[in-house]
Structure 1
Amino acid sequence: MQKQGKDYIVFPLDFSSLKQAKEYVKLLDGNVGMFKIGLELFIDQGPSIIQMVKQNSDAKIFLDLKLHDISATVQRAMGRVANLGVDLVTVHCSSSMAMLERAVAGGNGKTNVLGVTLLTDNDAATVEAAGFKDEFVKDTDLLVMHRAKMAYAAGCKGVVCSGKEVQQIKTVFGKKFLAVTPGIRPAWSLLENDDQKRVTTPGQAVALGSDLIVIGRPIRDANDPVRAAQNVIKEIEAALNLS
């Protein structure tokens, strides 16, 4: 079955209450391919939030926990996550290869691991302040590719990266290695003081090879969230000549 425009869209449930999250799951069901559950909502609601999404939508589930701990702890945590029946979970690539490998082992083929390369609100100044080598400061793409290589070697399903790095990741690691892109902003929603530093539009991201695009505020804060999601779908399909 050919992938449709909506299948590229990951909508983050970045809400402080179950009520709000449920409203948007029901509202956007059929217009997004996946719902992302982040730390705030998961800490507040626990595994029950996953069941809520499953009860109200056929969309897939992305649990964005960005695990980062000693290898044994991460493996055990991933074992628990796998039993929840989610499709994707994030693990930081800023730790060791061993931790990534143990995360994949913990998923046990039930839940796929995505490696987080470099957060999209990070830029060269952030990398420099963290004490990285000059080569990574001068070209943050090198750091992203270094971490993507670790994720690939460890058996991760793919990585989270900005749209600007997608093309190189696909060239080096192949089409089956997922590229999940946050920091997505349609041209009609760009803000002067956006907290995302490395942004791309939906059309640009999928044209470059992104498999999934995480897009929240432009849909969530629109007067008509469903229409906003449908506009994103149209932009994606136009970029891929699917319309």
Structure 2
Amino acid sequence: MKHGKDYIVFALDVPSIEEAQRYVQLLKGKVAMFKVGLELFVQSGPDIIKIIKDLGDAGVFLDLKFHDISRTVERTMERVAQLGVDLVTVHCASSINMLEMAVKGGGKKTGVLGVTVLTDNDSQVVANSGFREEYVRDLHSLVIKRAQMAKDAGCRGIVCSGHEAKAVKEMFGKDFLAVTPGIRPKWSLPENDDQQRITTPAMAVKAGADLIVVGRPIKMADEPAAAADRIAEEIEDRL
């Protein structure tokens, strides 16, 4: 049976390997995975992946959002797979060929998640990027189009907001992962937030999210481990 903590991915959005290691120590056993993003990976390199794996049994989600020519992405994914990373992100904004080459590079070791629409993007951003009016009016349709690309390319799943998770699961099946960032528990909602399409943990899981990415609500808490437990309890209450 899946428990509340099994849905939680903690975003290690910190500037140093020492700070990242502190959070891994605090939260081991409290979350399913640790997400390593651009800032931390540029600072620490693959060392942080080894630290996460050595300190516990949590999975590693490398969130580098690859977007380059297809052969370069394939070769990079081969290196990532050798690191023992469980999931890695690739932008769906490129071609289906790039997504296919990413999957090929990851082999059976590392799952590829297609990034559909960033959660700090809204209709105005899409309009300014030159998309057709149908996608400007309805971001949901753009997410679904890109999810279809990811599915056709053999990706393990996609990254989408909680608003699209239900439709993604209904259309592409339970084995196609819906990973949801932009998570804000009701008790942590700030007055000003850079995320545009946010949901609570319970809302995201109810909609079908397989994993929820949580950063600031845990990181900024006085007691991060207690905050992680609180989110897990909120999910279990919904389940």
Shorter chain as normaliser: what TM range? over 0.9
Aligned to 2:152: 153
Helix, strand or coil for the counterpart of 2:225?
A: helix
Distance 1:113 1:81 in 2: 11
Helix, strand or coil for the counterpart of 1:80?
A: helix
Helix, strand or coil for the counterpart of 1:228?
A: helix
Q: Number of residues paired by the alignment?
A: 239
1:127 Cα deviation from its structure 2 partner: 0.4
1:233 Cα deviation from its structure 2 partner: 0.4
1:42-65 deviations in whole A, cap 9, x for unaligned? 111111110011111210000001
After TM superposition, the structure 1 = structure 2 runs for residues 1-243 of structure 1, keeping only pairs within 5 Å, are 2-240=1-239
Which structure 1 residue ranges, 5 or more long, are not aligned? none
The TM-score normalised by the length of structure 1 is 0.98
Helix, strand or coil for the counterpart of 1:90?
A: strand
Helix, strand or coil for the counterpart of 1:120?
A: coil
Distance 2:7 2:137 in 1: 31
1:99-152 deviations in whole A, cap 9, x for unaligned? 000000000111000000000000001100111000000000010000000000
Distance 1:57 1:158 in 2: 25
1:153 Cα deviation from its structure 2 partner: 0.2
Distance 1:197 1:24 in 2: 26
After superposing on structure 2, the runs of 4+ consecutive aligned residues of structure 1 that deviate more than 4 Å are: none
Which letter maps to 1:111?
A: T
Helix, strand or coil for the counterpart of 2:121?
A: coil
Which letter maps to 1:122?
A: N
The TM-score normalised by the length of structure 2 is 0.99
Distance 1:147 1:187 in 2: 30
Moved more, 49-58 or 203-212: 49-58
Distance 2:45 2:56 in 1: 18
Distance 2:56 2:205 in 1: 24
Which letter maps to 1:185?
A: R
1:193 Cα deviation from its structure 2 partner: 1.0
Distance 2:222 2:32 in 1: 21
Q: Identity over the aligned pairs, expressed in percent?
A: 61
Helix, strand or coil for the counterpart of 1:106?
A: helix
1:165-219 deviations in whole A, cap 9, x for unaligned? 0010011101110000000000011112100000000000001100000001000
